[in-house]
Amino acid sequence: MNILFLTCWYPTKEIPSKGIFIKEHAKAIHSAGNKIVVAALNVCWGKSFFEKEIEKFTDENGIETHIIHIRSLFYKWIYVNPFHLYKILKTYCKKNILADFSPALIHSNILSPCAILGDWLAKDLKKPHVITEHWSKVDNYMKKNIFSRYGKRAYQNAKAITVVSGFLKKNIEKYVNDASKIKIVPNVVDTKTFFYKPKIKSDKVIFTAVAHWRPPKEPMLFIEALNKMENKNSILNMVGEGEQLEAIKKLNLNFEIHYHGNIPRTKIAELLWQSDFFLHASQVETFSIVIAEALSTGTPVIASNVGAIPELVNETNGILTNNNPDDWQTAIEQTMNKKFDYARFSGDINSRFSVEKIAGQFNEIYCA
């Protein structure tokens, strides 16, 4: 099947981690025998009033990819205005993609602005429209945004809406007349990168945390918890960048923190194989690919009991905790004293979130 795959979140040379989970979905769809063409709008800050640059290439997965870079001093206004973006997207697609590629279906990612653009383009081309939702801010958008009526219309007009978790499904059901068309299709775990290796014990207890260190993440919860513990023979690996790290670096702590910055996923996997536990503190999560990746390597997870995290973490592979330092300390200490079947829970995660599993789920929805 020919699929025109639309997104406003996608990896770029400047931000290679941006929307990587959407690219993994594209890879899964392509691997199932579909012909997929990606059209990505990258709206970002620029020095001028308006500048457009086109990047066209075939990626490492064999997917034809078009990235329309829009740079402007007023990039925030451009991003939230679907009318202007639709004109750019429609003009580009008709001239550079649709002349040689006839999609059977339009697949959009994230309600605003992309699914709105996809709804309009699908109507213009008289094609069915599938929306994949990852966004934790749908409620806020629907209640406050002046363009929310177009978002609601996109949901109603869609052939199907896929969500990455049961938590997110429940969150958007109230905006969809026919909730039966909402299907759970999780994010993909790259099981060729993140897979089980037996733990090699050392005299140190090694923790790892991976995130973009900005809200809704709450790293101070596990930092304070680790600092209060009697076992001081600990190392914390922190992977990623963000403004929250500045405050942490100023603290006088009684355990080691190693700051790794943004590193390739192969390096993250290596850290996880060396780690005893993975830590993830957040106010909300619609899925949490980093938790799934950690579990895939056989690393137990200690995480906030919020959002979709309970769909991933349970007593067989870690522990959930309330978001306060005392409960975090208790959870860490309890997990350190537990025994786990590392290979078993790694296998469970891989069977649920492999590229083959997700590809099959998307194909079922396309062909329904």
pLDDT band at 320 (very low <50, low <70, confident <90, very high): very high
Percentage above 70 pLDDT, the chain: 99
Q: Quick one: pLDDT at residue 202? A: 82
Q: How far apart are the first and last CA of the chain?
A: 13
C-alpha atoms less than 13 angstroms from C-alpha of 353 in its C-beta half-sphere: 32
Distance CA 258, CA 238 (A): 6
Burial 38-60 (b: 16+ CB within 10 A, else e): bbbbbbbebeeeeeeeeeeeeee
DSSP string of 329-343, one letter each residue = HHHHHHHHT----HH
Distance CA 204, CA 21 (A): 33
pLDDT band at 201 (very low <50, low <70, confident <90, very high): confident
Q: Quick one: pLDDT at residue 230? A: 75
CA distances (Å), 242 to each of 164, 185, 222, 237, in order? Answer: 25, 29, 17, 15
The predicted-structure confidence for 123-180, as pLDDT tens digits, reads as follows: 999 999 999 999 999 999 999 999 999 999 999 999 999 999 999 999 999 999 999 9
Q: Quick one: pLDDT at residue 58? A: 98
Q: Quick one: pLDDT at residue 56? A: 97
Distance CA 32, CA 29 (A): 5
Residue with tokens 């829970």: 345
- Helices 355-367, 342-353: axis angle to 10 degrees equals 30
The predicted model scores a pTM of 0.93
Q: Which residues contact 211 (CB under 8 A, 6 or more apart)?
A: 217, 219, 239, 240, 242, 280, 282, 290
Contact between 2 and 125 under an 8 Å Cβ cutoff? The reply is: no
Distance CA 310, CA 14 (A): 33
Residue 196 sits at φ, ψ, to 5 deg, of -75, 135
Residue 232 has pLDDT above 80, yes or no: no
Q: Quick one: pLDDT at residue 293? A: 98
Distance CA 244, CA 227 (A): 17
For the segment 269-282, the average pLDDT, to the nearest whole number, is 98
Residue 171 sits at φ, ψ, to 5 deg, of -70, -30
* Mean of pLDDT over the chain: 96
Any idea what the Cα angle at residue 28 is, between residues 96 and 265, rounded to 5°? 100
At residue 144, the 3 state secondary structure works out as helix
